[in-house]
Amino acid sequence: MRRRRVGATALELTELGFGGAPIGNLYSAVSDEQAIAAVRAAWDGGIRYFDTAPHYGIGLSERRLGKALQEFPRESFVISTKVGRLLVPNPSPTGTDSDGFDTPDDVVRVLDYSADGVRRSLDDSRQRLGLDRIDIALVHDPDDHLDQAAEESIPALCELRAKGEIGAVGLGMNYVDPLLWFVTRDYPDGVSIDVILVAGRWTLLDRSARRLLDACAERGISVISAAPFNTGLLASPEPPRTGMFNYEPVTDEVLRTAQQFARIAREHGSQLPHAAVRFPLRHPAVASVLAGIRSPQEAGTNCELVADDLDASAWAAIDEVTPVIG
């Protein structure tokens, strides 16, 4: 699988990355065996970039991913995790996590974007992953803590980068405006952003991140474009009426637009999911497309989708369709 460099670092990401939220039991449980098999299938398909976070299954995704990756040489893959949520013992467990993951709530998330919290978070993640280092550290969803993230989290990560403890510094968020705020602000000497992860905002249907990606390209900052299927609507050759778009039931307008993209893909000998996975890579700032994977079958399918690009005439026809957003 082709690779793209992260900013000015020595790191390279495969064009498709393994999103680790599903193996943290996002929405429904996945067995340990299936999670490990999904990682192996992704590896067999050529994926060498894997993303996770303490938030995903309150540590379960990190533990499973770390166990699966023990089989492979450490220098042969890149892993990213996130900071901003510490996991601490839950004083009042109810039995199940209430934040979308089907896992016991014996620990609870505590937001902490302080410099000390960032360092503690990475130490804890290394233990759960069973790895001596983490390649990319992303400040996770600091929407309500922008100043602290800019003044404490990012400088603390840059200190670790200078010491060689991590390879790249960035942010992972769902919304364009706060990411643009981080990307365009001035930082002291030695403090800089290498990469950002933006979810669901640079897709066939939602192109609201265009100005963000352009700003990143101007500054040499790489982009990881997550959620290319917009929570599932673009994952089927024919988008279903019962599908979801950005976690909401699909509207008539969104469905019609998705159906237009599906028709164009068919007319050019392809399918909608193929176009959805390849679309983000058309922007020069994008280093990798990150898709959540929960099974060996999903891993194999997604690896096949990213292997070859659509032809120029297909993209020309797609570009004539007005996206729903952006």
Q: Considering the domain boundaries, does residue 325 fall inside one?
A: no
Q: Considering the domain boundaries, does residue 165 fall inside one?
A: yes
Q: Considering the domain boundaries, does residue 50 fall inside one?
A: yes
Q: Say how many domains are in the chain.
A: 1
Q: Considering the domain boundaries, does residue 288 fall inside one?
A: yes
Catalytic positions: 56
The model's pTM: 0.97
Q: Considering the domain boundaries, does residue 324 fall inside one?
A: no
Positive/negative CA dihedral, 299, 230, 150, 109: negative
Work out the pLDDT band at 21, boundaries 50, 70, 90. Answer: very high
pLDDT digits (tens, 9 = 90+) for 32-58: 999 999 999 999 999 999 999 999 999
Looking at residues 62-86, what average pLDDT do you find?
98
SS (H, E, C) 16-77: EEEECCHHHCECCCCCHHHHHHHHHHHHHCCCCEEECCCCCCCCHHHHHHHHHHCCCCHHHC
Half-sphere exposure of 173 (CA within 13 A, CB side): 24
- Per-residue pLDDT, 51: 99
Q: What percent of the chain has pLDDT over 70?
A: 100
Per-residue pLDDT for 265 more than 90?
yes
pLDDT digits (tens, 9 = 90+) for 148-193: 999 999 999 999 999 999 999 999 999 999 999 999 999 999 999 9
Q: Considering the domain boundaries, does residue 135 fall inside one?
A: yes
Which residue do the tokens 């999911």 mark? 273
Per-residue pLDDT for 117 more than 90?
yes
- 251 Cβ contact list (under 8 Å, min separation 6): 245
What region, left, alpha or beta, does residue 61 occupy, with left being phi > 0 and alpha being psi -120 to 50 degrees?
alpha
Per-residue pLDDT for 280 more than 90?
yes
Per-residue pLDDT for 6 more than 90?
yes
Q: H-helix or E-strand containing 289? A: strand 286-292
Domain with 152 in it: 3-319
Distance CA 213, CA 203 (A): 12
Per-residue pLDDT for 292 more than 90?
yes
Q: Considering the domain boundaries, does residue 42 fall inside one?
A: yes
User: What integer best gives the mean pLDDT of the chain?
Assistant: 98
Per-residue pLDDT for 68 more than 90?
yes
Do residues 18 and 47 lie in contact, with contact meaning Cβ atoms separated by under 8 Å? yes
Give the burial string for 7-32 (b: 16+ CB within 10 Å, else e).
bebebebbbbbbbbbbbbbbeeebee
Per-residue pLDDT for 230 more than 90?
yes
Looking at residues 60-69, what average pLDDT do you find?
99
Looking at residues 135-160, what average pLDDT do you find?
99
Distance CA 70, CA 77 (A): 11
Per-residue pLDDT for 207 more than 90?
yes
Distance CA 91, CA 33 (A): 30
- Per-residue pLDDT, 326: 87
Q: What is the CATH number of the domain that holds 102?
A: 3.20.20.100
Cα 320 to the center of its chain, rounded Å: 28
Lowest mean pLDDT among 66-70, 225-229, 243-247, 255-259: 243-247
Per-residue pLDDT for 281 more than 90?
yes
Do residues 110 and 86 lie in contact, with contact meaning Cβ atoms separated by under 8 Å? yes
Question: Which spans in 110-241 are helix H?
Answer: 115-129, 146-148, 154-162, 176-184, 210-219
Q: Considering the domain boundaries, does residue 326 fall inside one?
A: no
